[in-house]
Structure 1
Amino acid sequence: MKKILVPTDFSTQAENALKVAAQLAKKHHCELYLLHILEVPVHTVDALSTYNDLPEAMFFMKLAQKRFEELKAKDYLKGLVVHEHVEFQEIFKGVFHVCKNNHVDLIVMGSNGANGLKEILIGSNTEKVVRTSEIPVLVIKKEHTVFKTKRFVFASDFKEESKPAIVKAIAFAKILGSKMHLLMVNTPNHFITSSDAQKRVQNFIKDIEMPNYSINIYNDVTIETGIMNFSQSIEANLVGMSTHGRQGLSHFFNGSISEDLVNHAKRPVITFKI
């Protein structure tokens, strides 16, 4: 992991993500890329040739540059290599271009989702990036003075199509020095015995090198609540799962979530595309 992208609208949520990204960058010697999306109705903005034609665009461009300078002066970014980018397009397209052009390894995003695991990820901008990103997306909901990654829960159905995602997750866990707690949630609607579930997970990982992990079968009313409750039970620092491109996370969730799980959802979530 060498390069980390942080999309920012200069909000508190975005800065929470940047603080986590800065901690990761210092620990793993990464460069940071800050991306701000300007929602100006133009296709192309050239700072030299369009000043007279697009004064509004130039105003917001200069304002973004000013905010970048203020952000880069923060103490938690001292000693880090920080690049800034401004894009005039939809956020997921801007993220895609910056990631592709700069070979970014990880995206860290803030979210103000209020309730449950789904709401952390299903928000206009965050959800679009999670759904379309080819590289891992780490979603941060609150400020982490010290970002811990010791206990990493990875939830999956452990079917063959999920292997590419878990291989990426294992590589990420190794970088962070995390213990992976592999989790399969058993629900009434898709019930299999604990013995069969254990065999499925073991067969799934038999050809994968995993130095530090546990296998966990957890019964709950829905997959989402199972992920949340199990993560709470072991005080997980990070929750990971796979996404299916344009289907996003919809395939993963089979019901709504109780309000008493709101606090559990404040854990960071990382997604890996299959």
Structure 2
Amino acid sequence: MKRILVPTDFSPNAETAFRFAMYLATLFKGTIILYHTYIPLENPFIGDKTQRAAHNFKTETRILKKLHRFKKKVVKKEDEISVSTIIGRSPLINNILGFAEHNHIDLIVMGTKGASGIKKILLGSVAAKVAQKSDLPVLLIPEKCNTNCLKEIVFATDFTPWDEKAINDTLSFAKLQNGTVTVTHVMDGHSHEKKKIKIKNDFEAYAYYMQRKINRRNLKFQLIETKAKEEKIKTLMNHTPYDMLALVRKNKSFIHKLRTVSYTKNLAYMMEKPLLIHPPG
């Protein structure tokens, strides 16, 4: 995770994400690109081509100064991390993803607003849409995140075919502080007994396979049972306190899942800690 992209809108949650990215870049010995996208003036009915170009130049100059002030606020003189500032143009989501793809970015770090009013805030947020569409890992940092610790990481699994790569990538975070990754599946306690036995057997086979393939001492596995589907993440946090939660994004739309009551409740718990979303495949 050497090249980290930090899209910013200069908000307090974006600042929190930038500070966390600085922490990661220090541990990974990486670099950061601080990135802001704006909508240029292109309406042919407003001025002529020269006037529009002059307007956009002034806008970009103003944004660049703001990026430098934002950078200076977070980056200290003693920091040895290279932080560059880049301005992009709309469309916002595609621009962020396109820039990441063409500039060999390893990780996108973005801030989120947290659990308060989560449906109104997060359903339309840029961070959620980037996490939904990105072919790169996206790390979502909650606004009130005040930890710089990655000792305990939980990888939530539903036994997807893409877990091996995602677990390996997650282990790279744990390695930074000699931490542990606990691969966890939360099982519905209301399931029929035969189904429970099947899930337990499947999980044991999955754990055996992953342990042999990855072969890391700091990789653990656990199966948790809960009686309430909507409380899965809460159960997980109570059972295994963690510093970061990781998962593989399912093919089912991330935004669509947010529209369900149970997933929104679960996400409210997730947003108390950094959330690392791996792309499928």
TM-score, normalised by the number of residues in structure 2: 0.81
Letter in 1 for 2:3: K
Q: How does 1:142-161 map to 2 (within 5 A)?
A: 142-161=143-162
Q: RMSD in angstroms over aligned alpha carbons?
A: 3.3
Q: Distance in 2 between matches of 1:3 and 1:70?
A: 22
Cα pair 1:115 1:259 within 8 Å, conserved: no
Letter in 2 for 1:8: T
How far, CA to CA, are the matches of 2:37 and 2:264 in structure 1?
A: 34
The separation in 2 between residues aligned to 1:105 and 1:223, in whole angstroms, is: 34
User: CA distance change for structure 1 residues 252 and 151 in 2, over 3 Å: closer, same or farther?
Assistant: farther
Deviations 1:180-232 (A, max 9, x none): 11110112469523632542432441322232122111122566631332124
- Unmatched tracts of structure 1, length 5 or more: 44-48
2:204 maps to 199
Corresponding residue SS for 2:6: strand
CA distance in 1, matches of 2:264, 2:7: 30
**3-state DSSP of counterpart to 2:247:** strand
Aligned-pair CA distance for 1:252: 9.6
Distance change >3 Å, CA 248–CA 75, structure 1 → 2? closer
Q: Residues 25-59 of structure 1, C-alpha deviation per residue, up to 9 Å, x if partnerless?
A: 1222211101101033549xxxxx96522454334
What's 1:52 paired with? 51
User: What amino acid sits opposite 1:256 in the alignment?
Assistant: S
CA separation of 1:198/1:95 partners in 2, compared to 1, >3 Å: closer, same or farther? same
SS in 1 for 2:9: coil
Change (3 A) 1:22 1:109: same
Give the SS at the match of 1:192: helix
Partner of 1:72: 71
Within 5 Å, give how 1:1-274 maps onto structure 2. Answer: 1-40=1-40, 42=42, 52-78=51-77, 79=79, 80-115=81-116, 122-175=123-176, 177-187=178-188, 188=190, 191-193=195-197, 195-205=200-210, 206-221=212-227, 225-244=231-250, 247-248=253-254, 250=256, 255-256=261-262, 262=268, 265-274=271-280
Deviation at 1:87, TM superposition (A): 1.1
Rg larger for: 2
| Distance 1:192-1:252 versus aligned 2 partners, 3 A rule | farther
Displacement of 1:111 after TM fit? 0.6
Q: Partners in 1 of 2:217 and 2:100 — Cα distance?
A: 30
- Is residue 119–residue 258 contact of structure 2 (8 Å, CA) maintained in 1? no
**Per-residue Cα deviation, 1:228-267 (whole angstroms, up to 9, x for no partner):** 3212433210001001357337569975268699566311
Amino acid at match of 2:12: T
Q: Distance in 1 between matches of 2:133 and 2:270?
A: 26
In structure 2, distance between residues paired with 1:118 and 1:179: 32
- Counterpart residue type for residue 196 of structure 2: I
C-alpha spacing 1:82/1:186, structure 2 compared with 1 (3 Å): same
Shift of the 56–219 alpha-carbon distance from structure 1 to 2, 3 Å rule, reads farther
- Whether the 8 Å contact between 2:144 and 2:272 is mirrored in structure 1 is no
User: Shift in Å at residue 178 of structure 1?
Assistant: 2.5
CA contact (8 A) 1:38 1:88 kept: yes
8 Å contact kept, 2:38–2:89? yes
Distance in 1 between the 2:230 and 2:120 partners?
A: 11
Q: Secondary structure at the match of 1:83?
A: strand
Cα offset for 1:143? 4.2
What fraction of aligned residue pairs are identical, expressed as a percent?
A: 25
* Structure 2 unmatched runs, 5+: none
Aligned residue pair count: 269
Q: Is the Cα–Cα contact under 8 Å of residues 131 and 244 in structure 1 kept in the other structure?
A: no
Cα displacement (A) at 1:171: 3.5
Q: Return 233-242 or 190-199, whichever deviates more.
A: 190-199
Q: TM-score, normalised by structure 1?
A: 0.82
In the aligned structure 2, how far is the partner of 1:254 from the partner of 1:221?
A: 18
